[in-house]
A = this chain, B = another copy of it.
Amino acid sequence: MQPKTQEMHDRLYAMLREEQIYRYAASVLNFDQETICPPAAREKQGEIGAALGSKAFIVTKNPAFTEAVEYLYEHRDELDSFDAAMVAARHKQYLADKNITPEKEHAYALAFNKAFVSWLTAKEKADYSLFAPDLAAVRDIQIERTALREDKCDNVFDTLIGDYERGLTQAVLDPIFDRMKERLIPLLARILASKKQIRTDFMTRTVTDEQQRQIADYLLDVIGFDKSRGAITLTEHPFTHDMSRNDVRVTTHFYPQMFDSSMFSVVHEGGHALFEQFCPEENDAHFLHEKTMGMHESVSRFYENRIGRSKEFIHLIFPKCREVFPQVLSDVTEEELYEALNVVRPTLKRTQADEFTYTFHIIIRYEIEKMILDGTADIADLPRIWNDKYEEYLGIRPGNDAEGILQDIHWTFGFGYFPTYAIGNLYNAMYLNTMKQHLDVPALVREGKLPVIRDWMAEHVFRMADRQTPEEWIKAITGRALTPDDYLDYLEEKYTALYEL
């Protein structure tokens, strides 16, 4: 490193340490607010968190900070790969924000907040028309704001998708989603026409919180979660929260008549957690935290679906489940539990979707976001478009807007997020096929040797995630470019067998 580069590097690090004090504290406050903070104190705690956020923001708005970022970005060939990736991300952020005045930012924040409030009311009243004007405002802001960005792509939607999955574009997604529909729509029809009887009566039997606590704890142990560097607790909407690789927290929620809900939530969030716990130690030291949403969902869904809902995993955990939940499983076989956990049943709600139908929910949102941003759909017309697509792809039609277009909060803060939910399944199907060339995955799962799988993931999937684009990353792991084929083949094989097609 040249002396001047070293100087800028040291300056940047000093400011990143200062920023981290505020960000770290805000992060702990945020976790506290989502878990234990009593209702009456949430507003105050939110104010304190926002004040810390402002202080962090002020550090990075300092010209001394941006000067260092710009200089280091120009001289990134002198940096190690961690610093180079961190500086590149900071530089991109700088380009994205530099032309947005505080007044604009404030106006946008107010509009998003207004959209959030009207969405709440609209959802409660199942009346989309109450939300439509604010959704139009969100669209307009997204277009206006993107035009001001110096890191923008050729079109608005690609820029927004890239915020969650760097480098991913419609040019890649369009043919992928088309191919998926092509194969999945007829396959779904065959599944729904199947005569196969799957027993599900036991799935709603009552369990206690204590039983669910025991199983959650057991499942984290099974997948290889490191409890000395993590914790588990309860919340309303489960999530994973990481302060650093030494502090990764999984949350879950207990429903007395859905014993599988917390179980698979824990395995899903546990996947997210492993990704953070077993990424390179250097990441924290370099203030590097750039895993994409798609990468993260690939790992969480790998654990939830590819591992968690496999026959081998059910075989592994069945004795413990029966011991902890005798009232649920004493008259149930391993095979019956496997089948019940993999039932296909089209639903109107994305969050209640099974593994098979989930992708349709994402494709529908993707197609509609595209139409919103390229102007081919009128905002007022969206509910009809939404309902038609549900009917076309899933054969069901929402009875009202609340169970249809208003179900998700995401559009109150913009577009581009949903594709990451689908793309994760494609990544993990690809790297699982690679993994299987090196490891006997089914045997490892049956025998409870999941740490071996975790360690392979750490070496091949986690290690470079913060330092590569998703395109580079999946190519480096599998030797191939993104394709839906592995995932589609997997679904076809699994459900053909399950439904005896």
Partner of A227, one of B21, B38, B228: B38
Which of A28-36, A73-81, A288-296, A304-312 participates in binding chain B? A28-36
Q: How far is the CB of A249 from chain B (nearest CB, A)?
A: 7
A254 CB to nearest B CB, Å: 12
Q: Is the pair B231, A36 in contact by a Cβ cutoff of 8 Å?
A: yes
Q: State which size class the interface on A falls in.
A: 35 or more
Counted per complex, copies of this chain come to: 2
B-contact 0/1 string along A16-53, CB 8 Å cutoff: 00001100111011011001111111001100100110
* Complex CA distance for A397 and B480, rounded to whole angstroms: 76
Q: Given A228-B40, A231-B36, is A21 in contact with B243 using a C-beta cutoff of 8 Å? A: no
Beta-carbon contact of A48 and B21 below 8 Å: yes
Q: Are B228 and A36 in contact (CB under 8 A)?
A: no
Measured between beta carbons, the chain B residues less than 8 angstroms from A229 are: 38-41
Q: Interface readout for A264-298 with B: 1 if CB under 8 Å, 0 if not?
A: 00000000000000000000000000000000000
Question: Are B45 and A247 closer than 8 Å at their CB atoms?
Answer: yes
Does residue A246 face the partner (Cβ distance < 8 Å to B)? yes
Q: Contacts A44-B244, A45-B243 hold; do A228 and B39 have CB atoms under 8 A apart?
A: yes
Task: Please tell me if the beta carbons of B210 and A41 are within 8 angstroms of each other in the complex.
Answer: no
Q: What are the residues of chain B within 8 A of A247 when measuring CB–CB?
A: 37-38, 40-41, 44-45
- Chain B residues whose C-beta falls within 8 Å of the C-beta of A249 in the assembled complex: 36, 38
Considering the complex, which residues of chain A in the window 206-240 have a beta carbon less than 8 Å from any beta carbon of chain B? 208-210, 227-231, 233
- A365 and B210 CA atoms in complex are apart in Å by 43
Among candidates B28, B37, B228, residue contacting A45 with C-beta atoms closer than 8 Å = B28
CA distance A20 to B40 in the complex (A): 18
A20 — nearest CB in chain B belongs to which residue?
B48
Closest to A227 in B: B38
Q: Are A48 and B32 in contact (CB under 8 A)?
A: no
Picked from B21, B37, B230, B233, the residue with its CB within 8 Å of the CB of A51 is B21
| Residues of the B chain whose Cβ atoms lie less than 8 Å from the Cβ of A44 | 24, 243-244, 246-247
Residue pair A48, B24 in contact (C-beta under 8 Å):
yes
Mark each residue of chain A from 91 to 120: 1 if its CB lies under 8 Å from any CB of chain B, else 0. Answer: 000000000000000000000000000000
Complex alpha-carbon distance, A233 and B208, angstroms:
19
Chain B residues whose C-beta falls within 8 Å of the C-beta of A32 in the assembled complex: 28, 31-32
B208-A38 in contact (CB<8A): no
In the bound complex, do residue B233 and residue A41 qualify as a contact, i.e. CB atoms below 8 Å apart? no
Interface centre among A26, A35, A51, A233 (most CB of B within 10 A): A51
* B231 contacts A37, C-beta separation under 8 Å: yes
Among A25, A26, A227, A233, the most chain B Cβ lie within 10 Å of the Cβ of A25
Contacts of A36 in B (CB 8 A): 35, 231, 233, 249
Which B residues are in CB contact (< 8 Å) with A243?
Answer: 41, 44-45
Complex alpha-carbon distance, A390 and B37, angstroms: 44
Task: List, in ascending order, chain B residues with CB within 8 A of A21's CB.
Answer: 48, 51-52, 55
CA distance A233 to B28 in the complex (A): 16
Question: Using Cβ atoms and an 8 Å threshold, which residues of chain B touch A35?
Answer: 36
Q: Which residues of B contact A40 (CB under 8 A)?
A: 228-229, 246-247
> A51 to B25, alpha carbons, bound, how many Å?
10
Contact B41 A244 (CB under 8 A): yes
Contact A29 B25 (CB under 8 A): yes
Known contacts: A28-B29, A210-B208, A210-B209. The answer to whether A230 contacts B48 by CB under 8 A is no
The distance in angstroms between the C-alpha atoms of A79 and B244, with both chains bound, is 47
A25 to B246, CA, bound (A): 20
Residues of chain B within 8 A of A41, CB atoms compared: 229, 243-244, 246-247
Q: Measured between C-beta atoms, what is the minimum distance from A143 to chain B in Å?
A: 36
Assess whether A38 is in contact with B231, with CB atoms less than 8 Å apart.
Answer: yes
- Please give the distance in Å from A410's CB to the nearest CB on chain B: 28
* A28 contacts across to B, CB distance below 8 A: 25, 28-29, 32, 45, 48
A40 to B281, CA, bound (A): 13
Q: Once bound together, how far apart are the Cα atoms of A233 and B249, in whole Å?
A: 16
28 CB-based A-B contacts, threshold 8 Å = A20-B48, A21-B48, A21-B51, A21-B55, A24-B44, A24-B48, A25-B25, A25-B29, A25-B48, A25-B52, A28-B28, A28-B29, A28-B45, A28-B48, A31-B32, A35-B36, A36-B231, A36-B249, A38-B228, A38-B229, A38-B248, A38-B249, A40-B229, A40-B247, A44-B247, A45-B247, A209-B210, A210-B210
